[in-house]
Amino acid sequence: MREAYHDQLGELAEQLASMCGMVGDAMELATKALLDTDLAVAERVISDDAKIDDARARTEEDAYSLLALQAPVATDLRTVLSVIHAAESIERMGDLALHVAKAARRRHPQPVLPEAVRGYFAEMGRIAVDLARKAEQVIRTQDIDLARVLDDEDDAMDDLHRHLFSVIMAKDWEHGVPAAVDITLLGRFYERFGDHAVSVAKRTVFVVTGKMPGYSSDATDL
C-alpha cells in the first residue's frame, strides 16, 4: 500500500514536471510569434493549449483517485493537495502563453511591438521560459536551493516589467495608445506567468520542508 502510494505520487510529480515543460515550450513559441510576427507559430500555441488543459485534467483526476484510494493524512495529504494547486497554476501559465499568442495573431501581419520595447519582451520571454524550466527541475529534483533562485529571477522579471511601464508612460512615447494598451496587457501576462512559476516551486519546497516559503508573488503595484 505505502509503496503503491509512493509510486503514484512519483507519477503525479512526473506529470506536473511534464506540464511545466509544455507551458515552457508554449511561452517560448508565443514569444517567438510575438517577436517575429509569425502567424503559424501563434496558431500552433493556440491549438496546443488544449493539450495542456487535458494534462491538467488528467493530473487532477489522478490526484483525486490517489486521495480516494489511499486516504493519505498529514504530510502525504498536503503533498497531494499541493499537486492539485500546482496543476492549476501551471494550466494558468499555459493560458497566459495562449493570450500572448492570440495578441500576435490579432495584429498580424502588423507587429504588436514597436522596436523600442522588443528587447524587453525578448528578455521577459527568456526569463519566463527559464522559470518554467527551472520549476520543472525543482519538481524533478526537489532542489529547494534552486527554488530560491527562481524567486530571484522573478524579481528580475518584475524589474523589467516596471521599466517597461516607464518606457510606455514616458513623454516621448511615439507609438500611440493602442500599442501602449497591447504592451500593458502583454507585460502583465509575462509577469503573472513568472509569479505562477514561483508559486509552483514554492509548493514543491513546502512538500519537501513542510514549510511554505514566505516570499510573495504578484507584489506588482498595478
Q: How far is the CB of 102 from a second copy (least distance, A)?
A: 6
Our finding on whether 108 is near a second copy (CB under 8 A) is no
Q: Where are the alpha helices (DSSP H) in the chain?
A: 2-36, 39-70, 74-107, 115-141, 144-169, 176-209
CA atoms within 13 A on the CB side of 12: 27
| Distance separating alpha carbons of residues 155 and 75, to the nearest angstrom | 30
Residues within window 1-60 making contact with a second copy, judged by CB under 8 A: none
Our finding on whether 215 is near a second copy (CB under 8 A) is no
CA separation (Å) from 162 to 12, 87, 165, 221, 222?
36, 28, 5, 9, 9
Residues within window 180-209 making contact with a second copy, judged by CB under 8 A: 180-182, 184-185, 188
Of the candidates 60, 79, 70, 75, the one whose C-alpha atom is nearest the C-alpha of residue 10 is 79
Q: How far is the CB of 169 from a second copy (least distance, A)?
A: 5
Question: Which residue in the set 51, 58, 106, 162 belongs to the binding site for a second copy (CB under 8 A)?
Answer: 106
Q: How far is the CB of 30 from a second copy (least distance, A)?
A: 13
| Distance separating alpha carbons of residues 75 and 111, to the nearest angstrom | 49
Cell numbers at 74, concatenated: 498529514
Of the candidates 54, 52, 53, 62, the one whose C-alpha atom is nearest the C-alpha of residue 83 is 62
- Total site size for a second copy, rule CB under 8 A: 34
Question: Which residue in the set 7, 50, 54, 71 belongs to the binding site for a second copy (CB under 8 A)?
Answer: 71
Query: Are the C-beta atoms of residues 13 and 90 closer than 8 Å to each other?
Result: no
C-beta of 87 vs 138, nearer to a second copy: 87
Q: How far is the CB of 144 from a second copy (least distance, A)?
A: 22
Our finding on whether 148 is near a second copy (CB under 8 A) is no
For residue 200, which amino acid is it? V
Binding piece for a second copy, criterion CB under 8 A, among 30-38, 153-161, 167-175, 203-211: 167-175
Our finding on whether 155 is near a second copy (CB under 8 A) is no
Residues forming contacts to a second copy in the complex (CB under 8 A) are: 64, 67-68, 71, 73-74, 77-78, 81, 84-85, 88, 95, 99, 102-103, 106, 165, 168-169, 173, 176-178, 180-182, 184-185, 188, 218, 220-222
